[in-house]
Amino acid sequence: MTGHSPQRGIPGALAVHHVAYTVPDLDQAVEFFTTVLGARLLYRIGPVADAEGDWMTRQLGVDRAASAQIAMLRLGPVTNLELFEYTAPDQRRTLPRNSDWGGHHLAIAVADVDAAVAYLRAQPGVEVLGEPQTITDGGPIDGDRWVYFRAPWGLQLEVLRMPPGMPYERATEARLYAPDGPWSTPGEGS
């Protein structure tokens, strides 16, 4: 067939359902995400474990003796965030840096980076890394304003503001997700 491209990707994929992070203290992480970042706690489960078999290894790729406490939160209108607190005999207890394999961060779009930074600097245990930066190189994300910060246990996050009409849009019809309003406060909306 002329002009027909083979399907790429997972057949029937609809959306990203959630992102997940393992944290050292689930209570602390839930408190941080709900109180400081405005997430909504949807549910908690656990402990999840399999003392007799190899389910934890087979299904999750962790030590068979591992157990986990789990919380699911909603960040804004579309992002589900799953948090795990594992106990495992072979557990590594260091967070990767962004430059390490497996390095990561969670980026939150804000209306005003400077106002977000002032708020974050006032939160106990939050470390803002450097000062807000605006990209002015004429490249695909010229105009993006951003700064990284760390949660009290070291998880890396970012606040950013990409103004409408980013330069990358001239080269593609695809668009980054852009929120159309502020997050609901916990307990309101979806």
Q: What is the CATH number of the domain that holds 25?
A: 3.10.180.10
- Examine the domain organization and report whether 108 and 149 are in the same domain: yes
Would you place residue 42 in the very low, low, confident or very high pLDDT band (cuts 50, 70, 90)? very high
Domain residues for the domain of 153 are 104-180
Cα–Cα distances in Å, from 44 out to 14, 19, 24, 71, 188? 25, 16, 16, 4, 19
Span 21-30, mean pLDDT? 97
Answer yes or no: is 188 within a domain. no
- Examine the domain organization and report whether 157 and 119 are in the same domain: yes
- Examine the domain organization and report whether 119 and 156 are in the same domain: yes
Answer yes or no: is 1 within a domain. no
Map residue 132 onto helix, strand or coil.
strand
- Examine the domain organization and report whether 176 and 114 are in the same domain: yes
Separation between Cα atoms, residue 128 and residue 118, nearest integer Å: 9
Total structural domains in the chain? 2
Separation between Cα atoms, residue 47 and residue 58, nearest integer Å: 18
- Examine the domain organization and report whether 115 and 81 are in the same domain: no
Q: Could you say which of 45, 62, 89 is where a domain stops? A: 89
Span 52-68, mean pLDDT? 91
Answer yes or no: is 65 within a domain. yes
- Examine the domain organization and report whether 71 and 129 are in the same domain: no
Span 60-72, mean pLDDT? 94
How high is the pLDDT of residue 181? 80
Q: Could you say which of 89, 120, 138 is where a domain stops? A: 89
Answer yes or no: is 132 within a domain. yes
Answer yes or no: is 2 within a domain. no
Span 116-133, mean pLDDT? 98
Helix (H) or strand (E) holding 118: helix 113-121
- Examine the domain organization and report whether 78 and 121 are in the same domain: no
- Examine the domain organization and report whether 23 and 77 are in the same domain: yes
Answer yes or no: is 79 within a domain. yes
Cα–Cα distances in Å, from 14 out to 10, 82, 97? 9, 18, 31
Span 28-48, mean pLDDT? 96
Whether pTM exceeds 0.75: yes
Cα–Cα distances in Å, from 84 out to 5, 66, 74, 148? 39, 12, 15, 23
Span 16-36, mean pLDDT? 97
Q: Could you say which of 89, 121, 137 is where a domain stops? A: 89
